[in-house]
């Protein structure tokens, strides 16, 4: 990503904040252990944001890992502010984006951010068309000032990515995608041809992890867990996919990292492909 090479299995730090990604976790030492265990097992790509907590997740990353190893790539995102009730609110003015970059720098203890994803919030939970020229130009200005090395996008459409690439060099896209939620199939191929990394969020289904009879059946057949199969499917699906599964548990972390060594035979892939196709059919004809 950008000018950096990372292992395909990274780690998403969102689960390290308190319930609802708001406030501190119940057990801060456990959160620190998860991060240290991730790095001890070869993770060199961590996804975060200063709006997780807010501030909490970045502060835990700093406490656990600073000074950071040279090969660690920390990717953050800006574009939202949390309300006092934990709500997620768009924050796209030049001033808000500048403050967000400085919040990330301060709480992570960095002089420059490796990659900043502009998280589009026209629709908080899904994608919606609309020009992103103004906020992206603000982020590009922060890049010119040397505070941001590379720019990525999150929660975006193909049209928004095309618009963005006329303004800045886009190194990665982070959208919701997993074996049951496949609306980005064509986009992933488009990005692969352009040499842009695709980093799915909710790779395991997010707050309600994936559950499906086909997934359990394949897992049993291969002697793996359903979550490992879901991650292995993503790794095999396209070469530009990089993973950032989230967990607050060392045991789940180890389980997820081991999925990098799981090979899915073609008959298993066919079974798993039916999950997303069946869901798309149901959505089209409810
Ligand atoms: N750009 C965006 O808008 C956006 C949105 C959401 C997330 N993200 C990023 O994407 C990363 C990944 O998303 P996510 O963490 O929300 O969702 P996820 O990786 O799909 O799933 C996380 C959930 O799965 C559980 N889990 C993880 N490993 C498991 C295992 N081996 N067995 C059973 N359950 C397991 C976790 O609970 P436990 O803690 O109990 O393991 C947690 O509830 C985040 O950390 C964040 O960095 C970005």
CB atoms near residue 63 (< 10 Å): 14
In this prediction, residue 286 carries a pLDDT of 43
Which of 45, 41, 23 has its CA nearest to residue 33? 41
* 114, two tokens: 């490796």
Tens of pLDDT along 210-224?
Answer: 999 999 999 999 999
Tens of pLDDT along 240-250?
Answer: 999 999 999 99
Q: Tell me phi and psi for residue 151, to 5 degrees.
A: -115, 135
Element (H, E) at 283: helix 266-284
Residue 25 three-state SS: coil
Which of 108, 120, 185, 195 has its CA nearest to residue 147? 108
Q: Name the stretches of the chain with pLDDT < 50.
A: 286
The sheet with strand 113-119 has its strands ordered as 11-12, 45-47, 73-78, 113-119, 148-154, 170-174, 197-198
In this prediction, residue 279 carries a pLDDT of 63
Q: How far apart are CA 75 and CA 11, in angstroms?
A: 10
Reading phi first (left if > 0) and then psi (alpha if -120 to 50, else beta), residue 205 is in: left
* 189, two tokens: 């191929």
Cβ pair 135, 171 in contact under 8 A? no
* Helix ranges, 127-265 (H): 133-144, 158-165, 185-193, 213-222, 226-237, 250-258
Pocket perturbation via mutation, ligand 1, pick of 35, 51, 60, 202 by most ligand atoms within 8 A of CB: 202
- Report the nearest-CA residue for atom 21 of ligand 1: 206
Q: Which of 11, 52, 68, 177 is catalytic?
A: 52
Q: Are strands 170-174 and 45-47 parallel, antiparallel or unpaired?
A: unpaired
In this prediction, residue 281 carries a pLDDT of 56
- Report the nearest-CA residue for atom 38 of ligand 1: 247
Pocket perturbation via mutation, ligand 1, pick of 119, 247, 258 by most ligand atoms within 8 A of CB: 247
Q: Tell me phi and psi for residue 180, to 5 degrees.
A: -105, -5
Cβ pair 34, 53 in contact under 8 A? no
Instruction: Name 4's Cβ contacts closer than 8 Å, sequence gap at least 6.
Output: 73, 114
Q: Does the annotation mark 198 as catalytic?
A: no
- Distance (Å) from CA 245 to ligand 1 centroid: 5
Tens of pLDDT along 255-264?
Answer: 999 999 999 9
Report which DSSP code applies to 200.
-
Q: How far apart are CA 148 and CA 108, in angstroms?
A: 13
Q: Are strands 80-82 and 88-90 parallel, antiparallel or unpaired?
A: antiparallel
Which of 204, 195, 159 has its CA nearest to residue 177? 204
């Amino acid at each position: 990503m950008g000018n950096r090479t990372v292992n395909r299995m990274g780690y998403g730090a969102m689960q390290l904040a308190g319930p609802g990604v708001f406030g501190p976790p119940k057990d801060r030492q456990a959160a620190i252990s998860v991060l240290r265990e991730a790095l001890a097992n070869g993770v060199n790509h961590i996804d975060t944001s200063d709006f997780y907590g807010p501030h909490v997740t970045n502060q835990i990353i700093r406490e656990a890992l600073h000074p950071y190893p040279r090969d660690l790539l920390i990717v953050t995102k800006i574009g939202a502010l949390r309300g006092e009730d934990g709500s997620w609110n768009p924050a796209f003015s030049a001033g808000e984006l500048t403050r967000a970059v400085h919040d990330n720098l301060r709480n992570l203890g960095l002089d420059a951010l490796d990659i900043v994803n502009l998280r589009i919030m026209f629709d908080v939970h899904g994608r919606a068309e609309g020009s992103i020229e103004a906020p992206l130009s603000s982020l590009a200005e922060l890049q010119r000032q040397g505070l941001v090395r590379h720019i990525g996008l999150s929660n975006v459409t193909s049209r928004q990515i095309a618009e963005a690439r006329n303004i800045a060099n886009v190194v990665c896209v982070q959208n919701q995608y997993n074996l049951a939620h496949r609306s980005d199939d064509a986009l992933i191929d488009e990005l692969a041809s352009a040499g842009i990394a695709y980093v799915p969020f909710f790779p395991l289904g997010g707050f309600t992890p994936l559950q499906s009879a086909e997934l359990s059946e394949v897992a049993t057949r291969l002697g793996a867990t359903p979550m490992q199969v879901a991650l292995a499917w993503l790794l095999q699906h396209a070469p530009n996919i990089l993973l950032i599964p989230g967990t607050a548990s060392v045991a789940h972390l180890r389980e997820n990292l081991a999925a990098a060594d799981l090979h899915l035979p073609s008959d298993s892939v066919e079974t798993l492909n039916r999950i997303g196709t069946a869901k798309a059919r149901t959505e089209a004809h409810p």
